Structure 1
Amino acid sequence: MINVFRSYNPINIVWLAVLAFLLRIGYLIHAPEKVEFIFVEPFARLLVPVAYEYALSPFMNVLIAAGLILVQALLLNRVVNHFNLLGKPSYLPALMYITLSALFTPFLVLSAPLICNFLVIWMLYKLFNLYQGEDVKSTGYDLGMIVALGSLLYLPFIYLFLVVWIALVIFRPFNWREWVAVIIGYATVFFFLAVFYYLNDKLGQFYKIWLPLGTAFPGSIHINTYNYVLLIPVIFIMALSAYRLQQSFFKSYVHIRKSFQLLMIFFLIAGLSFYVKAEFQLNHFLLCAIPLAISFGYYFLFATGRWFYETLYFLLLAGIVYFQFNTF
């Protein structure tokens, strides 16, 4: 299967759609009667004055989620190929994203992190463009607004503000105006939210938006033991990807090196920001799927020993399907 997606053949879009559906059949068989969908934070609930949480049936919920995942995979693939991050065009980033987005059951339904991944792809496109821009103050302003919009949907997204500033350090010589532009862009969205609070006589509650940011980082994370089993092939492929990237790191163009440095930082910050939510949910780690998909695509594009990498990918797919059909 990997060899098929190594080529930049448009017919692969059809196979991506088939795979996105097949990786959700197991969940649909055991789907609950109701699936909740919340795509805005409680403090932004006033902006959506309708009851939508259970408006979709489980089947429609999963089907729409699969469609959004497919669109995101194709957008991500286009960004990767546009900036030539892997060295040559392929559909491997899209394949890896669709695979990783089915890793855990909470990934399969509509959620705020899933919607936010559209913003993540948009952010990455603008961040990768920082290297070539002469005056990026407007880009910084846009990035600040994107982070603010993501924060309305999913509060942990606020920590991606750090990613924007770190990207300015990586890609740009220091210019305080560019840093301030990011702050102004972020403040613009929340200024209008404050106005909305004022018009609804709730301005006194506006400060409560930021209270979760003071939550202590947890000492441990408790997830289903069987989920750890699925992480084994993921961690193994991560290690192989890091090794492959390290081998060719200094042979790559400067922009490519800086881009992968940014992806690593993005992965770490997005992953560690989960603690802001009072109730920990695995769907948070969908935010990490995009940088992982790019690095996995890099490994599988240049991996040697077909029997090895095809078997490795098959084991990952088999594990995903097995744990969907066996809920224990």
Structure 2
Amino acid sequence: MISAFRNYNPINIFWLAILLVILRVCYLYNAPANTELVLVESFARSLVPGNNINTTSLPVSVLIAGVIVFIQALLINYVVNLYNLFGKSSFLPALMYVTVSGLFTPFLTLSQPLICNFLVIWMIYKLLSFYKNQDIKSNAYDLGMIVGLGSIFYLPFIYFFLVIWVALIIFRPFDWRDWAASIMGYVTVFFFLAVYDYLTDHIHDFYKIWLPLGTAFPGSIKILNYYNYLLLIPVIIILILCFFRLRSNFFKSYVLVRKSFQLFFFTFIIAGLAFYVKADFRLNHFLLCAIPVAIFFAYYFLYATSRWFYETLYFLLFAGIIYFQFNTF
């Protein structure tokens, strides 16, 4: 399977769709009939009439989420190949994103983090352009607006502002105007939100938007079912193998490639640690980590040499995902 996706063959789009269906249809066997649906944060629900906490048919939610994941997978594949991050075009980034986004059952339904992944892809596309562009102030401003927009959908996305600053440190010499432009872009979004709140007589609640940012970092995380987290074993193994592969090729790679993987690593860390902002923390938050993880996975599987080993490793991950969808323990 991996060997087929190593090639940049359009027929892989068809196989990608098949694998996407296989990874999601099994969940419907033991799934509840309905699921909760929230698309924007509470402070912005008045901007979307009728959007409160509702329930929706789970098959419909899984179907919409599957279509979104498929589109996102192709977009990620396009960005990785456009910037030639692997030195060879393939469909592995798309395959790995489809796989990682089906890792846990909360990932399979429509959610705020899943929608925000469109913005993460857009950010990565613009951040990678920092390397060659001489004047990036307009891009920095756009990125600030993207983070502001993402914060309206899902408040923990605000921490992706740190990703912009990390990219500025990695890709660019210091220029205070680039940093200021990103701040102005973010402020622009909330300026218009403040104007809306003023016109609707809700300006007194405007400051409450950022109160969750003061939440103390939890000392422990409650895990309801430890068995499902056995899937993290092959994930951790693949990540470790990827880092060893990156280490061996690091100084042989182009400067853009080295800097890009540094950016993906910090994106993964920042996205993962932002979970504490939500009082009603849910596992689907870690969908924000799926894009950098998928890129790391794709890099390993593209350069792995022992076919029997990497094919077996991916099969175990794929089979494990399906197995835990059928078993609720």
TM-score normalized with structure 2 length: 0.98
- 1:301 matches 2:302: yes
Offset of residue 227 of structure 1: 2.5
Question: Per-residue displacement from partner, 1:91-113 (whole Å, max 9, x unpaired)?
Answer: 00000000000000100000000
> Gapped runs of 5+ residues in structure 1?
none
Q: Give, in whole Å, the separation in 2 of the partners of 1:239 and 1:269.
A: 19
Which residues in structure 2 correspond to 1:273-288 (within 5 Å)?
Answer: 273-288=274-289
Offset of residue 304 of structure 1: 1.0
The residue that corresponds to 2:255 in the other structure is 254
Amino acid aligned to 1:272: L
Q: Give, in whole Å, the separation in 2 of the partners of 1:126 and 1:264.
A: 17
Q: Give, in whole Å, the separation in 2 of the partners of 1:145 and 1:100.
A: 28
- Kept in 2: contact 1:143–1:164 (CA 8 A): yes
The residue that corresponds to 1:236 in the other structure is 237
- Kept in 2: contact 1:244–1:299 (CA 8 A): yes
Offset of residue 52 of structure 1: 6.2
Question: Per-residue displacement from partner, 1:88-143 (whole Å, max 9, x unpaired)?
Answer: 00000000000000000100000000000000000000000001111110000000
Q: Give, in whole Å, the separation in 2 of the partners of 1:221 and 1:94.
A: 31
- Kept in 1: contact 2:113–2:287 (CA 8 A): yes
> Mean Cα displacement is larger for which, 185-194 or 29-38?
29-38
The residue that corresponds to 1:169 in the other structure is 169
- Kept in 1: contact 2:194–2:206 (CA 8 A): yes
Which residues in structure 2 correspond to 1:83-94 (within 5 Å)?
Answer: 83-94=83-94
The residue that corresponds to 1:291 in the other structure is 292
Question: Per-residue displacement from partner, 1:192-229 (whole Å, max 9, x unpaired)?
Answer: 00011111111000000000000000111222201220
- 1:227 matches 2:236: no
The residue that corresponds to 2:159 in the other structure is 159
Across the two proteins, how many residue pairs are aligned to each other? Answer: 328
The residue that corresponds to 1:76 in the other structure is 76
Amino acid aligned to 2:87: G
- Kept in 2: contact 1:44–1:152 (CA 8 A): yes
Amino acid aligned to 2:42: P
- Kept in 2: contact 1:73–1:97 (CA 8 A): yes
The residue that corresponds to 1:312 in the other structure is 313
Question: Per-residue displacement from partner, 1:162-198 (whole Å, max 9, x unpaired)?
Answer: 1101101110111111100000000000000001111
> Gapped runs of 5+ residues in structure 2?
none
Q: Give, in whole Å, the separation in 2 of the partners of 1:97 and 1:292.
A: 8
Q: Give, in whole Å, the separation in 2 of the partners of 1:302 and 1:18.
A: 25
- Kept in 1: contact 2:45–2:52 (CA 8 A): no
Which residues in structure 2 correspond to 1:1-328 (within 5 Å)?
Answer: 1-51=1-51, 53-54=53-54, 56-223=56-223, 224-328=225-329
Q: Give, in whole Å, the separation in 2 of the partners of 1:57 and 1:235.
A: 34
Amino acid aligned to 2:326: F
Q: Give, in whole Å, the separation in 1 of the partners of 2:196 and 2:157.
A: 21
- Kept in 2: contact 1:34–1:54 (CA 8 A): no
Q: Give, in whole Å, the separation in 2 of the partners of 1:97 and 1:293.
A: 5
- Kept in 1: contact 2:45–2:51 (CA 8 A): no
- Kept in 1: contact 2:66–2:108 (CA 8 A): yes
Cα gap change, 1:19 to 1:53, in 2 (>3 Å) = farther
Q: Give, in whole Å, the separation in 1 of the partners of 2:228 and 2:131.
A: 39
Q: Give, in whole Å, the separation in 2 of the partners of 1:234 and 1:202.
A: 45
- Kept in 1: contact 2:272–2:289 (CA 8 A): yes
Amino acid aligned to 1:58: L
Q: Give, in whole Å, the separation in 1 of the partners of 2:60 and 2:34.
A: 11
Amino acid aligned to 2:45: R
- Kept in 2: contact 1:130–1:136 (CA 8 A): yes
- Kept in 1: contact 2:271–2:288 (CA 8 A): yes
- Kept in 2: contact 1:37–1:54 (CA 8 A): yes
Amino acid aligned to 1:298: Y
Q: Give, in whole Å, the separation in 1 of the partners of 2:141 and 2:80.
A: 23
Q: Give, in whole Å, the separation in 1 of the partners of 2:157 and 2:68.
A: 19
- Kept in 1: contact 2:39–2:51 (CA 8 A): no
- RMSD of equivalent CA atoms: 0.9
Secondary structure in 1 matching 2:219: coil
Q: Percent identity?
A: 67
Secondary structure in 1 matching 2:36: coil
Amino acid aligned to 1:33: A
Amino acid aligned to 1:120: V
Q: Give, in whole Å, the separation in 2 of the partners of 1:293 and 1:244.
A: 15
